[in-house]
A and B are shown apart, each in its own frame.
Chain A
Amino acid sequence: MTNIGQLERNLLVVAGIIMLHGVAAVSLAHGVINYIALGAICSIFAGFMLVNTLLRRMGHAGDPLLLPLTALLVSIGLTTIFRLRPDLFLVQVIWIGVGLSVFLVSVFLSRRLEQVAYFKYICGFIGVSLLLTAIVFGVDIGGHKSWVIIGPIRFQPSEFAKIFIVLFLAAYLSERRELLTHATRHYGPLVLPHPRFVAPLIAVWGITMLMFILQRDMGAALLYFGIAILMAYMVSGRLSYVIIGLVLFLIGSVICYKLYSHIQIRVDIWLNPWADPNGGAYQIVQSLFALGSGGIMGTGLTYGFPGMIPEVHTDFIFAAIGEEMGLMGAGAVIIIYIILIYRAFRASLLSIMPFSMMVAGGLAVSMALQIFLIIGGVIKFFPLTGITLPFISYGGSSIVSNFILLGMLFSISEVRCYDAK
């Protein structure tokens, strides 16, 4: 166990050096050493080390890669935000500090994760309420209505809703896994489970369609629907769920495409951004210019022009990384995410309880899909959606919710260690 703690600490030091180096490089390129920024970076590093020490002292034996990988992503994110929006840098540092504390709380609470299964309907209710809040009270910022503003607080409920939805689905599906697998009805060539058991899936589909239409948030809609379908598949192993799900989503999408001009515009922009490069396709075209100008090696930090991309510090931060750090940097980000997701699935696979197995699997799916949708949108692999890049994009909701998610994964990954002893 000390070995694991030591490994984690060493890896955190590597991530810390990268963080320090990134902020120092941006600072030096501007010709002034920003001591406040360097101080802030040191406190973040100290924060990570403190979390490591606290967890290991208290005998926690979670996956030693999760925290260092996150620290690496946070380093890249902070460096990029410091370069793009120095005015938001300290705010982001504070959010990461909050995130680390929330991570600790999340780790401790998740040790009794199995008990959450009893409150699955509450989780489901909270998740759906959060989504509905966004739909009903959503304010349009940057093209999609995913923000809720309550007095001085503004947050994106969908970032938090995914955790509750995953918890609910994990509990519901793992309880009913046999019914889902075996109790089927035959409709001609189709083999379907009894409608009662797929009701929650239909409900999630309904909500995501609402998000699609009312919130113009195609990314979040696809994210939630994808989570639901893939979790159902995990439990049942029935590919027909995935296929039926995709067909349903496709039908919904085609109907929406026919009915709503804003969805048509999104798709048309994706298919041919060069038709209107200064109009609707401006953002994606600028993003492609940034990536192309960066090339393999990048222009070097502060030597690019990512400022030409609107919303670059939130939804389009990946394009800024691609421009100034090149394929080397942007590719590294994708690889770090792949390793992180691999570790998340590993935690799931090594879990001994079906519920925690499903929770970790669901969280891994949610993270992977979110990363795929946003990076795919930024590089025009996929129609553009408005979601954040976990641990890198600027924004409190995203940082805090992802640290909660990470805490749960960490906690699940340690369960098997106790088991192994």
Chain B
Amino acid sequence: MMRNDMNHIADNIRKVALGLVGLLLSLLIYLSYIQVVESEFLATHPLNRRTAEIARMIPYGMIVDRHGDKLAYSQREGDVFKRKYPYEAMTAQVVGYDSSTYGKSGIEGTFNSYLTGNNNAMAHLGAISHLFANKAGNNVVLTLDVKLQEIAYKALGNHRGAVIAINPRTGAILAMVSKPSFDPNQIDQEWKSISTNENSPLLNRVTQGLYPPGSTIKVMIAEAALKEKVIDLNRTIDCEGILKIPPDYTLQESHLESYGKINLTEALAVSSNVFFGTISLELGRSKMANAFERFGFKQPVSQELQETASHLPNFSSLGNGDLAQTGIGQGSLLVTPLRMAMLASSFANKGVIMKPYLVDKITDPDGTVIKSYSQEEWLTVTSPQLAEDINKMMIKVVESGTGKSASLPGIIVAGKTGTAENAQGDSHAWFIGFAPANNPQIAIAVIVENAGYGGSIAAPIARQVFRAALQ
């Protein structure tokens, strides 16, 4: 009986043991599921701070301008590395910020994987992977010229606005300024005031600001009219200060001036609304739409620049009044300063728009080039002959027209001013252009928000940038 009894208990204990070992084995299976199947999801989850912490253990790469000036670098503070931005607000929207709380922006964000030197190939080797780990991130070399950036930044003064300078022959972005700005060194401390500021300092106005182009669009309208042969260089139109467009629309010169009989060159120089309204109507909806399409306003240009798409009117349903408005850069047309600089550069570069680019190359900590970004043709928008014609007209604008205050001694400057009316108050002052006109080195777009006339506000800013760039 005793023996039987013991065997009985032993049987039960065996069952309990099996059950409990089964429970522990189920833990092993579930743990394998977590660490193998779910591993990737958990390791890369946005709330998992480990990736950011690992990155903080090694110095990130530097972001430098075309001459090697440091725009961002990592400096050891205790156990971790902290990002430093020696040019502070001057390059803030381009270079971006790096905050453990608020993330990254600009080049810091888009080139994060190069800067951190993240090399996931060895990660599955566990502890052994540390033998192959990078000791520092890779450097990003920009096309930016920080001295030119500084000139442009200071030239904008206390205005809100943007300046972009491109090399029209390569597409390299030489300066990209957006104001107001912020100090990326203080991003964590001042996030609240920076992010809620009604003037949006975080916004890169060059690529993300949408503005009516005003009269600066007339250079494109002039090209379209010549190409479509609705006008030639000799034909004159009588500009009496007012253009009546049936049924009930009137277009006026900005101060109701009367320019009399003027040709295309003269009309661009004085920026006649009546003249360009008239030829826009003569061009008609489909040819106008075609011009905007030809100049690339409908297609994105570059992923890396994170540009906001232009807003074009729906040409097929546009009334005559609105069509004429679009021809003088008003109505519902909205574009970024980047696009206007590209428009200017197309006439500087014989009708070819180069793809704008900001990053020249990536180098490893020893300076070896890992990746380089070469210049690339984007669109051929017009013929060399027509580009040359518009080029000459734009020289006249600066020599004797509305753009006089962009002129420089000894350098031929080509340009076009704009004074864009907008719903947000005073007109925006615009200037687009390039120099030297006979051998263009730099194309520019300047916008100063709610500042008044392009000729008196934006053109002098462009002149300072031209002078600095061509010294």
Q: State the A residues within 8 Å of B (CB).
A: 177-178, 230, 233-237, 277-278, 285, 288-289, 291-301, 303-305, 308, 322, 326-328, 330-331, 334-335, 337-338, 341-342, 345, 348-349, 352, 354, 357-358, 361, 364-365, 368-369, 371-372, 375-376, 379-381
Contacts and interface: CB of A to CB of B under 8 A. Distances in A.
A348 B24 CA distance: 19
B9 A357 contact: yes
Interface size class of B (residues with CB under 8 A): 35 or more
Please provide the 4 A-B residue pairs with the shortest distance between their CB atoms, ordered closest to farther: A292-B42, A297-B126, A300-B127, A345-B17
A372 B27 contact: yes
Interface of B: 5-6, 8-17, 20-21, 23-28, 30-32, 34-36, 38-43, 45, 47-50, 53, 123-130
Given A293-B48, A295-B43, A297-B125, A372 B23 contact: yes
A337 B28 CA distance: 11
12 contacts: A230-B16, A233-B16, A234-B9, A289-B48, A292-B42, A295-B39, A295-B126, A304-B50, A326-B126, A331-B32, A342-B17, A379-B34
A237 B50 contact: no
A293 B51 CA distance: 9
A369 B20 contact: yes
Nearest to A295: B39
Nearest to A350: B10
A336 to B, nearest CB: 11
A234 B10 CA distance: 8
A371 B17 CA distance: 14
Contacts of B53: 305
A108 B15 CA distance: 30
A288 B34 contact: yes
A174 to B, nearest CB: 8
B23 A301 contact: no
A311 B10 CA distance: 40
A337 B24 contact: yes
A227 to B, nearest CB: 11
Contacts of B50: 289, 293, 304-305, 308
Given A233-B16, A349-B14, A292 B9 contact: no
Given A234-B16, A345-B13, A354-B9, A297 B24 contact: no
B48 A291 contact: no
Contacts of A296: 35-36, 39, 124, 126
Contacts of A177: 5, 9
B130 A303 contact: yes
B9 A358 contact: yes
A342 B12 CA distance: 15
Contacts of A285: 47
B21 A293 contact: no
Q: Is the interface of B mostly helix, strand, loop or mixed?
A: helix
A379 B27 contact: yes
A292 B41 CA distance: 8
A330 B35 contact: yes
B124 to A, nearest CB: 6
Contacts of A291: 31, 34-35, 39, 42
B252 to A, nearest CB: 59
A334 B5 contact: no
A335 B8 CA distance: 28
Contact of A354 (B6, B14, B25): B6
A349 B26 CA distance: 24
Given A277-B47, A379-B34, 15 more contacts: A230-B16, A233-B15, A234-B16, A278-B47, A292-B43, A295-B39, A295-B123, A295-B124, A330-B31, A338-B21, A338-B24, A348-B13, A354-B5, A357-B10, A372-B23
A322 B26 CA distance: 16
Contact of B36 (A277, A327, A357, A372): A327
Contacts of B126: 295-300, 326, 328
Nearest to A289: B48
A295 B123 CA distance: 9
A341 B20 contact: yes
B23 A289 contact: no
A335 B24 CA distance: 9
Nearest to B57: A303
Nearest to B27: A375
Contacts of A371: 24
A22 to B, nearest CB: 12
A358 B10 CA distance: 9
In the complex, which of the residues B35, B43, B45, B125 has the most CB atoms of chain A within 10 Å of its own CB atom?
B35
A323 B398 CA distance: 67
Nearest to A369: B20
B22 to A, nearest CB: 10
Contacts of B42: 288-289, 291-293
B13 A234 contact: yes
Nearest to A360: B13
B127 to A, nearest CB: 3
A300 B131 CA distance: 11
In the complex, which of the residues A234, A294, A376 has the most CB atoms of chain B within 10 Å of its own CB atom?
A234
Nearest to A173: B9
A278 B47 CA distance: 9
Contacts of B23: 368, 372
A368 B6 CA distance: 23
A83 to B, nearest CB: 13
A302 B192 CA distance: 36
A86 to B, nearest CB: 15
Given A235-B12, A345-B17, A372 B35 contact: no
